[in-house]
Structure 1
Amino acid sequence: MTLTDTLDYQRADGRARRLTFAEPEGAIRGGLVVLHEADGVTDGVRLLIASLAGEGWLAVTPHLDGEKLTQQDLLDATDITLAWLVERGVQADLLGVVGFDLGGTAALVVASHRKLGAAVSVGGQGDVELPALVEIAGRLTSPWLGMFGDGGDEQGGAQFERLQDAAASSKVATNVVRYPGANHRFDADPAAAAEAWQRTLNWFDAHLR
Structure 2
Amino acid sequence: MTLTTTVEHQHADGHTLRLTFAEPDGVVRGGLVVLHEGAEEVEEGLGLLLAGLAGEGWLTVTPHLDRDNLTQQDLLEATDATLSWLAERGVQADLVGVVGFDLGGTAALVVASNRRLGAAVSVGGQGVTGLPVLVEIAGRLTSPWLGMYGDAGDEAGGAEVEQLRDAAATANVATNVVHYPGANHRFDADPDAAAEAWQRTLNWFDAHLR
The answer, yes or no, to whether TM exceeds 0.5 is yes
Distance in 1, matches of 2:74 and 2:207, equals 30
- Aligned 8 A contact 2:39 2:64 in 1: no
**C-alpha displacement of 1:13:** 2.5
Aligned length: 208
CA-based RMSD? 1.5
Instruction: Report the more deviating stretch, 109-118 or 42-51.
Output: 42-51
In the TM superposition, 1:128-139 aligns within 5 A as 128-139=129-140
Correspondence 1:171 to 2:178: no
| Structure 1 unaligned spans of 5+ | none
**C-alpha displacement of 1:33:** 0.3
Instruction: Report the more deviating stretch, 170-179 or 10-19.
Output: 10-19
Correspondence 1:27 to 2:27: yes
| Aligned residue number for residue 121 of structure 1 | 122
| Aligned residue number for residue 109 of structure 2 | 108
| Aligned residue number for residue 16 of structure 2 | 16
| Structure 2 unaligned spans of 5+ | none
Distance in 1, matches of 2:49 and 2:39, equals 14
Instruction: Report the more deviating stretch, 129-138 or 31-40.
Output: 31-40
Distance in 2, matches of 1:181 and 1:168, equals 24
**C-alpha displacement of 1:127:** 2.4
1:44-89 CA-partner distances (Å, limit 9, x unpaired): 1111001100000000000000111100000000000000000000
**C-alpha displacement of 1:128:** 2.2
Deviating beyond 3 angstroms after TM superposition, the runs of 4 or more aligned structure 1 residues are: none
Partner of 2:115: helix, strand, or coil? coil
Relative to structure 1, is the Cα distance of residues 38 and 2 closer, same or farther in structure 2, using a 3 angstrom cutoff? closer
Relative to structure 1, is the Cα distance of residues 152 and 28 closer, same or farther in structure 2, using a 3 angstrom cutoff? closer
Name the aligned partner's letter for residue 8 of structure 2.
Answer: D
**TM-score, with length taken from structure 2:** 0.96
Distance in 2, matches of 1:161 and 1:56, equals 33
- Aligned 8 A contact 1:104 1:124 in 2: yes
Distance in 2, matches of 1:11 and 1:149, equals 36
Name the aligned partner's letter for residue 3 of structure 2.
Answer: L
In the TM superposition, 1:1-209 aligns within 5 A as 1-37=1-37, 40=40, 41-151=42-152, 156-209=157-210
Relative to structure 1, is the Cα distance of residues 152 and 57 closer, same or farther in structure 2, using a 3 angstrom cutoff? closer
Distance in 2, matches of 1:38 and 1:18, equals 13
**TM-score, with length taken from structure 1:** 0.96
**C-alpha displacement of 1:38:** 5.0
